Amino acid sequence: MNVFDLPVLSALLLAASAGIAALGAVVTPGGAIVLLTVVVRATLIPVGIAMARAERGRRRLAPRLAELQKRYRRDPERLRRETMALYAAEKVSPFAGCLPALAQAPVLTLVYAVFASPTIAGAPNALLEATVFGAPLGRHLTDIAAGIAPSDLVFAGLLVALVVVATLARRAARHAAALQPLPAPPTGPAAAQAATLARIAGWAPYLTVVAALFVPLAATLYLTASSAWSLGERALLRRAITG
């Protein structure tokens, strides 16, 4: 079952699709996708601010958390109690950054569905029948198996842009971690597991590139615009809030 076939979500998708069609008539379908992405991401700036402040709080406590880990490394239960007491005393939640991220996920998922769903409310998604620079917005990169079209240069350009943005995002995250690293977990299996997860997470920005290989051009354009916005927003907030 497609969750977006549920009446409420289907109605939201239909309304969003109609809005994009009206905007596309004024500008272009591709321009409408970019503009909608900018508007949605702009409304989510407060969420980004909350996440940046949470990151600042965790990194501010990093030296003291490291000291607690060193002091109570042989007593995990005492370490847990002292760690939670420190967070409470400093009014910092270790999960503060997770809640805003979860809050924005439904919005971004709904917007993404407008560009990726082949049908909306039981009818073909009209947006995917439009074109951008001659490339059909409903075309998938996998369609090149049937023959490469000149318009596929648009797809190639967006994929290159996504790779560049992902590389810059990964580099920025590693730079921020090097300046103010979060405390390492206690030694032993937990430390090894955390190190492995950190290495995997370091490549997370490239998941967007992988996703773009399997979605329509409309969704790829959205992913490119949204990823570029995220990169710029995080850089500005990190400079303004986290330092």
What percentage of the chain exceeds 70 in pLDDT? 85
Cα 185 → chain centroid: 26
- Nearest-angstrom CA–CA distance, 160 and 217: 14
pLDDT at 163 over 90: yes
Contact residues for 135 (Cβ-Cβ < 8 A; gap 6+) = 149, 151, 152, 153, 154, 155, 217
Q: Which of 43, 24, 26 is nearest to 125 (CA)?
A: 24
* Predicted pLDDT at 140: 87
> For 194-232, how does the pLDDT look when each residue is reduced to its tens digit (9 = 90+)?
556 657 767 888 889 998 888 999 999 999 999 999 999
What percentage of the chain exceeds 90 in pLDDT? 16
- Nearest-angstrom CA–CA distance, 221 and 215: 10
- Nearest-angstrom CA–CA distance, 124 and 114: 11
**Cβ atoms within 10 Å, residue 200:** 9
Q: By CB neighbour count within 10 A (0-12 exposed, 13-18 middle, 19+ buried), where does 146 fall?
A: exposed
Long-range Cβ pairs for the range 20-27 (8 Å, 24+): 20/114, 20/127, 21/126, 21/127, 24/127, 24/130
Residue with tokens 């993404």, as numbered in its chain: 112
Q: Is the pTM of this model over 0.85?
A: no
Q: Which of 201, 139, 204 is nearest to 165 (CA)?
A: 204
Cα 196 → chain centroid: 21
Q: By CB neighbour count within 10 A (0-12 exposed, 13-18 middle, 19+ buried), where does 180 fall?
A: middle
Q: Which of 142, 133, 163 is nearest to 223 (CA)?
A: 163
pLDDT at 9 over 90: no
